[in-house]
Amino acid sequence: MSDTPQGPSVKHLGQQSALPASPEEAVLDYVPNPRKGSLYLVRFAAPEFTSLCPVTGQPDFAHLVIDYAPGETIVESKSLKLFLGAFRNHNGFHEDVTVGIGQRLFEEMQPQWLRIGGYWYPRGGIPIDVFWQSGLPPEGLWLPDQGVGSYRGRG
Catalytic residues: 53, 60
Q: How far is residue 17's CA from residue 30's CA, in Å, rounded to a whole number?
A: 16
Q: Which residues, 6 or more positions from 106, have their beta carbon under 8 angstroms from its beta carbon? A: 68, 114, 134
Q: In angstroms, how far is the first alpha carbon of the chain from the final one?
A: 51
Q: Which residues pair with 4 in a beta bridge?
A: 7
Residue 16, class by beta-carbon neighbours within 10 Å (0-12 exposed, 13-18 middle, 19+ buried)? exposed
Instruction: Write b or e for each residue in 35-50: b if 16 or more Cβ atoms lie within 10 A of its Cβ, otherwise e.
Output: eeeeeebeebebeebe
DSSP 86: G
